[in-house]
Chains A and B, each alone.
Chain A
Amino acid sequence: MSTRTDRPIYERPKSLSLVRSNYCPGCHHGIIHRLLAEVIDELGIREQVVTIAPVGCAVLLYDYFEVDCVQSPHGRAPAVATGIKRSRPELTVITYQGDGDLAAIGTAEIIHAANRGERITTIFVNNTNFGMTGGQMAPTTLLGQKTETSPYGRDARANGFPIRVSEMISSLTGPAYVARVAVFDPPHVMAARKAIRRAIQVQREDLGFGFVEILSNCPTNWGLTPVEATRWLKENMLPYYPLGEFVGSTQPPAASKQPPAGSMS
Chain B
Amino acid sequence: MGERVLMKGAEAAAEGAIRAGCRYFFGYPITPQNEVASYMSRRMPEVGGTYLQAESEVASINMVLGAAAAGVRAMTSSSSPGISLMQEGISYMVGCEVPAVVMNFVRGGPGLGGIGPSQCDYFQATKGGGHGDYNLVVLGPSSIQELVDMMGDAFEIADRYRNPVLILADGIIAQMMEAVEFKQSVDSTPLSRKPWAVTGAKGRRKNIINSLDLIPEKLEKHNWDLQAKFKQAALDEVRWEEYCLEGAELVLVCFGTVARIAKKSVDNARAAGIPIGLIRPISLWPFSVAPFEKVMPSAKKFLVVEMNTGQMLEDVRLAVAGRRPIAFHGKPGGTTYNPELIDQVIHQALEKERFDEHSN
Chain A interfacial positions (CB closer than 8 Å to B):
46-50, 52-53, 59-60, 62, 65-73, 76, 79-88, 90-91, 108-109, 111-112
Contacts and interface: CB of A to CB of B under 8 A. Distances in A.
Interface of B: 23-24, 26, 50, 52, 54-56, 58-60, 62-72, 74, 88-89, 92, 96, 198-203, 206-212
A91 B200 contact: yes
Contact of B206 (A53, A60, A67, A81): A67
B59 A87 contact: no
A69 B210 contact: yes
B58 A83 contact: no
A68 B62 contact: no
Most chain B CB neighbours (cut-off 10 Å) among A72, A83, A85? A83
The 3 closest A-B pairs by CB, nearest first: A83-B66, A79-B62, A83-B63
A66 B201 contact: yes
Given A87-B74, A88-B70, A90-B200, 14 more contacts: A50-B198, A68-B201, A68-B208, A69-B207, A70-B66, A70-B69, A70-B198, A71-B208, A71-B209, A71-B210, A79-B63, A80-B63, A80-B66, A112-B59
A147 to B, nearest CB: 24
Contacts of A90: 200
Contacts of A52: 66
A84 B59 contact: no
Contacts of B88: 73
Given A73-B92, A87-B67, A108-B55, A67 B201 contact: yes
Contacts of B72: 87-88
Interface centre among A60, A82, A85 (most CB of B within 10 A): A82
A71 B198 contact: no
A68 to B, nearest CB: 4
22 contacts: A47-B200, A48-B202, A59-B212, A62-B208, A66-B201, A69-B206, A69-B207, A70-B209, A71-B211, A71-B212, A73-B62, A79-B62, A81-B66, A83-B26, A86-B67, A87-B70, A91-B199, A91-B200, A108-B58, A109-B58, A109-B62, A111-B55
A87 B211 contact: no
Contacts of B59: 76, 79, 82, 108-109, 112
Contacts of A70: 65-66, 69, 96, 198, 208-210
Q: Tell me which of A65, A82, A87, A111 has the highest count of chain B C-beta atoms within 10 A of its own C-beta.
A: A87
B201 A46 contact: yes
B254 to A, nearest CB: 36
Contact of A79 (B66, B207, B210, B212): B66
B243 to A, nearest CB: 41
A80 B55 contact: no
Contact of A72 (B56, B62, B70): B62
Contacts of B23: 87
B69 A84 contact: yes
Contacts of A87: 23-24, 50, 66-67, 70-72, 74
Nearest to A60: B212
B94 to A, nearest CB: 12
A9 B198 CA distance: 33
A65 B200 CA distance: 13
Contacts of B207: 68-69
B200 A48 contact: yes
Contacts of A65: 206
Contacts of A108: 55-56, 58-59
B24 A86 contact: yes
Given A87-B74, A109-B59, A69 B66 contact: no
B300 to A, nearest CB: 50
B77 to A, nearest CB: 15
Nearest to A62: B208
Contacts of B89: 73, 76
Contact of B198 (A66, A69, A82): A69
B23 to A, nearest CB: 8
Contact of A86 (B60, B63, B96, B208): B63
Contacts of A88: 70-72, 199-200
A93 to B, nearest CB: 9
A66 B96 CA distance: 19
A90 B69 CA distance: 15
Contacts of A68: 198-201, 206-208
Contacts of B58: 76, 79, 108-109
Contacts of A85: 66
B200 A83 contact: no
Nearest to B207: A68
Given A48-B200, A73-B88, A73-B92, A86 B52 contact: yes
Given A71-B96, A86-B52, A66 B206 contact: yes
B64 to A, nearest CB: 6
B198 A79 contact: no
Contacts of A46: 201
